[in-house]
A and B are shown apart, each in its own frame.
Chain A
């Protein structure tokens, strides 16, 4: 099994593992951020360029460094490879650039955005971005559209990570939306006269790293940090039925799939669980959801390393 050293930490991983996944096995600060890579979606990644790292030593056999920064989510590790992530000024500088690019046309309407509080772009810009912008032009804007009975598309916020495209391609019987146009005028849109309407369409909301795709049954109902996330399950004939219900008092405000510490869903859930089962009687509550202590959803109620919201 190849051994790889990332920022001085050594880890042994199976052949074909990417640098990003090797870093995730080590964990901590050295994990590169990822806005477009999604481990459960085949083909995702390589687009946002936030996970760029420097390969200072190619492998044991060929120790030359790689000439350019590489996307860690796409580059497989080699035995003896040495990678610099946060220990390289070049990487941090490039990442700062990428964050600036991602925010150029982002409306920064976090105060009215439903994703605020669980937005990957917020985390990313907080960690790697600058406090001000050098962009002095009008940002590109789009009309908000309903792409199906449950989902609202707010294209202005989109960072074109293509995750929802892969989700629709791989989880649902037919993909009826995609990227239209190119360059900075590219947009996500449904095909002509089509609406996204199938049992697993709701998952595009969970995979969206920003607030471009939001749950129409939850829009403007509450801020996510006012709600208490609870692990819950129900018997569902279509999906695993394992979900997180976001409660306030005795009321369920929304249902999402369970995300891991990198914001990725393992068990996708169906639209019935997500949108239609909002009565607490339909769910078996398992207990409070463990949430990263850095998340605003915790509001300082953390206990040790993880937070238990009660």
Chain B
């Protein structure tokens, strides 16, 4: 952060921490106090003539405060509502001053870049996706955990290799995978290791996005979730939507009302009270939220729903047609379509 602030010519920097991670605040405050004591922070750092003050600021616990302008509002002590852009934070941010908002993962990459040089760092990874990425792998895998991978690692290797996830738990088969956090489109088993074009899918920004939203997804935040054949996609989608309903700030109407609506419809489908028309209704509502909101939370709420219906429509229909069975067991693997639509 000190290096980044030096590069930007910034004299004040803030570390914003979500309220749930309150114990980290104390660790950071200690570290900052040490840095001040050693002269790495404060006035005239190590005789360079550069000043920098660093503050730690906990939020009150809101997913929406990960959106940069909501984070800024929250830092200013206001309700964490995303601002309307433009102006972007780089023009008018915190206290109306130009502000750069970066993820801690981005700033962590500054150190190897400075130490080894940019060219050396760019050799890691593949294509435009250079460097490493922290992947927080969870779900039905043998070795869940946080892994730092070189971008460009084949997806198959990441899921099945003992070095990483170690394969699907209990010898079950892969059903689906969410490669980048709950907000990105879900991929069915036949699109996880291979793209629609038949190429190997790699853990990189480009390869995951291959096929657009029709047959691809996004690397997103690196929240990697694997589902085996016993998992219910409808229930999972409902769970995601419930989260977005809870975390929507309530400022703009499509997201505020739409997330609640989708959650209720999905709950009904999951509990065997759904109708066939509900499936198209979900797609329509998702489409009306997407792109029409102030911040990307609306998109994030709409994408998993739209993609789940796109790839797992059969399973949704099965829920409607078998209202009793869907309460007792899960659908299982989805059939691979005869021909995957190329993008």
The residues of A with any CB-CB pair to B shorter than 8 Å are 45-49, 52, 68-69, 71, 74-76, 93-94, 97-98, 100-102, 104-105, 134-135, 137, 159-160, 162, 178-179, 181-186
The smallest beta-carbon distance between B306 and chain A, in angstroms, is 14
Q: B154 contacts which chain A residues (CB < 8 A)? A: none
A97, B288: Cα distance in complex, Å = 6
Given contacts A162-B251, A184-B245, 15 further A-B contacts (CB under 8 A): A47-B253, A49-B293, A68-B291, A71-B294, A93-B288, A94-B288, A94-B292, A97-B254, A97-B292, A100-B288, A101-B261, A160-B251, A160-B253, A160-B256, A182-B248
Q: B257 contacts which chain A residues (CB < 8 A)? A: 101-102, 104-105, 184
The smallest beta-carbon distance between B85 and chain A, in angstroms, is 9
B250 contacts A49, C-beta separation under 8 Å: no
Q: B261 contacts which chain A residues (CB < 8 A)? A: 101, 104, 135, 137
Which residue of A has the minimal Cβ distance to B79? A179
Given contacts A105-B257, A183-B259, contact A98 B250 (CB under 8 A): no
Q: A98 contacts which chain B residues (CB < 8 A)? A: 253-254, 288, 292
A74, B62: Cα distance in complex, Å = 26
Which residue of A has the minimal Cβ distance to B250? A186
Interface string of B64-84 (1 = CB under 8 A from A): 100000000000000100001
Given contacts A97-B254, A179-B250, A183-B247, contact A49 B264 (CB under 8 A): no
A182 contacts B84, C-beta separation under 8 Å: no
Interface CB pairs A-B, < 8 A, 5: A49-B293, A97-B254, A104-B260, A160-B253, A183-B256
Q: A49 contacts which chain B residues (CB < 8 A)? A: 252-254, 292-293
A181 contacts B250, C-beta separation under 8 Å: yes
Q: A46 contacts which chain B residues (CB < 8 A)? A: 84, 252, 294
Q: A137 contacts which chain B residues (CB < 8 A)? A: 261, 264
Given contacts A47-B294, A134-B281, contact A184 B256 (CB under 8 A): yes
The answer to whether B249 has its CB under 8 Å from any CB of chain A is yes
The residues of B with any CB-CB pair to A shorter than 8 Å are 62, 64, 79, 84, 86, 245-254, 256-261, 264, 281, 285, 288-289, 291-294
Most buried by A among B84, B254, B256, B259: B256
A246, B291: Cα distance in complex, Å = 43
The smallest beta-carbon distance between B179 and chain A, in angstroms, is 24
Q: B281 contacts which chain A residues (CB < 8 A)? A: 134
A178, B291: Cα distance in complex, Å = 27
Which residue of B has the minimal Cβ distance to A90? B291
B84 contacts A101, C-beta separation under 8 Å: no
A308, B254: Cα distance in complex, Å = 38
Q: B252 contacts which chain A residues (CB < 8 A)? A: 46-49
Which residue of B has the minimal Cβ distance to A100? B288
A101 contacts B251, C-beta separation under 8 Å: no
B258 contacts A183, C-beta separation under 8 Å: no
Q: A105 contacts which chain B residues (CB < 8 A)? A: 257, 260
B256 contacts A52, C-beta separation under 8 Å: no
Q: A135 contacts which chain B residues (CB < 8 A)? A: 261
A160, B249: Cα distance in complex, Å = 11
Most buried by B among A105, A159, A183: A183
Q: B253 contacts which chain A residues (CB < 8 A)? A: 47-49, 98, 101-102, 159-160
Most buried by A among B64, B245, B251, B264: B251
A59, B285: Cα distance in complex, Å = 32
The smallest beta-carbon distance between A160 and chain B, in angstroms, is 6
B84 contacts A184, C-beta separation under 8 Å: no
Q: B62 contacts which chain A residues (CB < 8 A)? A: 182
Partner of A71, one of B64, B84, B259: B84
A182 contacts B254, C-beta separation under 8 Å: no
The smallest beta-carbon distance between B166 and chain A, in angstroms, is 38
Q: A102 contacts which chain B residues (CB < 8 A)? A: 253, 257
Partner of A69, one of B248, B259, B291: B291
Partner of A101, one of B86, B249, B288: B288
Which residue of A has the minimal Cβ distance to B85? A74
A75, B257: Cα distance in complex, Å = 24
The smallest beta-carbon distance between A69 and chain B, in angstroms, is 6
A93, B292: Cα distance in complex, Å = 11
The smallest beta-carbon distance between A209 and chain B, in angstroms, is 12
A156, B258: Cα distance in complex, Å = 17
Which residue of B has the minimal Cβ distance to A101? B257
Q: A45 contacts which chain B residues (CB < 8 A)? A: 84
B259 contacts A184, C-beta separation under 8 Å: yes
Which residue of B has the minimal Cβ distance to A94? B292
B292 contacts A160, C-beta separation under 8 Å: no
The smallest beta-carbon distance between B78 and chain A, in angstroms, is 10
The smallest beta-carbon distance between A206 and chain B, in angstroms, is 22
The smallest beta-carbon distance between A70 and chain B, in angstroms, is 10
A101, B261: Cα distance in complex, Å = 9
A46, B261: Cα distance in complex, Å = 22
A183 contacts B260, C-beta separation under 8 Å: yes
The smallest beta-carbon distance between A176 and chain B, in angstroms, is 15
Which residue of A has the minimal Cβ distance to B253? A101
Partner of B256, one of A74, A134, A186: A186
Q: A93 contacts which chain B residues (CB < 8 A)? A: 288
Q: B259 contacts which chain A residues (CB < 8 A)? A: 183-184
Q: B288 contacts which chain A residues (CB < 8 A)? A: 93-94, 97-98, 100-101
B292 contacts A69, C-beta separation under 8 Å: yes
A93, B290: Cα distance in complex, Å = 13
Q: A183 contacts which chain B residues (CB < 8 A)? A: 245-250, 256, 259-260
Most buried by A among B252, B257, B293: B257
Most buried by A among B245, B259, B260, B293: B260
A182 contacts B294, C-beta separation under 8 Å: no
A184 contacts B260, C-beta separation under 8 Å: yes
A74 contacts B264, C-beta separation under 8 Å: no
Given contacts A69-B291, A101-B288, A160-B256, contact A182 B264 (CB under 8 A): no
A71, B293: Cα distance in complex, Å = 9
The smallest beta-carbon distance between B64 and chain A, in angstroms, is 8
